[in-house]
């Protein structure tokens, strides 16, 4: 019995070792906002987005992934095709820091222990939180700070394509959407309930939305697979 337990432990250790490849790197791209202010075009990178990313490749088909991205979300009514928004002429800029964690699924096996070039499309989803300052548009249509901050939780969904460029470096191209559970990023719903009653505008049934379009460059490191003689 003890021999069987030892063998099972060794087998599990081998499986974990085979998959224990890490990636760490940088993200560089652009962001755009979709909400009650500005353009409603979904893929239209406008502001620089930069950050860091870490992955733990648990198997050739899925990875645990963590990222931190900084960007400015900008909405300008004059960029919209909606005549009423152009006439209103609101605009805002809000700096955010987004933290995201989730799982990345590859369409094909992506085993970094096997030499040679590898590439595959992939899908990422999980949970995200964006930290942002609160503000609203006053009776003169000007931005006014609430001197508070909030956290906008959301669900990230991204599709991409990644490939090895050397034995230790990978390049990915990705388009990602953030559907968030908040309508406060663009100032259309003030965080203060008293202000919200007087200064809210837009479609109160739709929350805000933002996109990332960019590339990641990661460096891989970790254990080589073990070989068990059982």
pLDDT tens per residue across span 140-151: 989 999 999 999
Burial class (CB in 10 A: 0-12, 13-18, 19+), 148: exposed
DSSP category for residue 78: G
Cα distances from 172 to residues 43, 101, 210, in angstroms, run 18, 17, 20
Would you place residue 171 in the very low, low, confident or very high pLDDT band (cuts 50, 70, 90)?
very high
Res 14 pLDDT > 50: no
CA 203 and chain centroid, separation: 25
* 112-140: pLDDT as tens digits: 888 889 999 999 999 999 999 999 999 99
- Domain map (residue ranges) of the chain: 2-222
* 42-89: pLDDT as tens digits: 999 999 999 999 999 989 999 999 999 999 999 999 999 999 999 999
Q: Is 144 helix (H, G, I), strand (E, B) or coil?
A: strand
139 in Cβ contact with 92 (< 8 Å):
no
| pLDDT reported for residue 15 | 42
| pLDDT reported for residue 205 | 82
| pLDDT reported for residue 19 | 44
Average pLDDT, the chain: 89
pTM for the full model? 0.85
Q: Which CATH number is associated with domain 2-222?
A: 2.40.160.20
* 172-225: pLDDT as tens digits: 999 999 999 999 999 999 999 999 989 999 987 889 999 999 999 999 998 654
- Per 3-state DSSP, the chain is made up of helix, strand and coil in percentages (nearest 5) of 15, 55, 30
181 contacts: CB under 8 Å, gap ≥ 6: 152, 153, 154, 207
Return the number of other C-beta atoms located less than 10 Å from residue 92's C-beta.
22
The more confident residue out of 17 and 24 is 24
| pLDDT reported for residue 224 | 53
Res 17 pLDDT > 80: no
């Amino acid at each position: 019995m003890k021999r069987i337990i030892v063998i099972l432990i060794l087998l599990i250790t081998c499986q974990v070792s085979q998959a224990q490849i890490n990636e760490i790197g940088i993200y560089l791209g652009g962001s755009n906002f979709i909400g009650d202010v500005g353009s409603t075009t979904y893929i239209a990178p406008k502001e620089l987005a930069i950050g860091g990313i870490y992955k733990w490749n648990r198997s050739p088909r899925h990875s645990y992934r963590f990222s931190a991205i900084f960007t400015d979300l900008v909405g300008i009514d004059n960029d919209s095709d909606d005549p009423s928004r152009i006439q209103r002429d609101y605009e805002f800029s809000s700096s955010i820091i987004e933290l995201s964690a989730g799982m990345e699924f590859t369409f094909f096996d992506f085993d970094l222990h096997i030499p040679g070039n590898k590439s595959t499309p992939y899908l990422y989803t999980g949970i995200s939180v964006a930290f942002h300052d609160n503000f609203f548009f006053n009776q003169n249509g000007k931005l006014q700070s609430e001197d508070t901050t909030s956290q906008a939780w959301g669900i990230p969904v991204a599709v991409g394509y990644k490939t090895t460029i050397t034995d230790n470096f990978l390049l990915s191209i990705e388009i990602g959407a953030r559907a968030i559970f908040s309508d406060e990023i663009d100032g259309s719903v003030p965080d203060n309930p008293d202000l919200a009653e007087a200064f809210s505008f837009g479609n109160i049934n739709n929350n805000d939305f933002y996109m990332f379009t960019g590339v990641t460059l990661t460096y891989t490191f970790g254990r080589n697979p073990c070989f068990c003689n059982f």
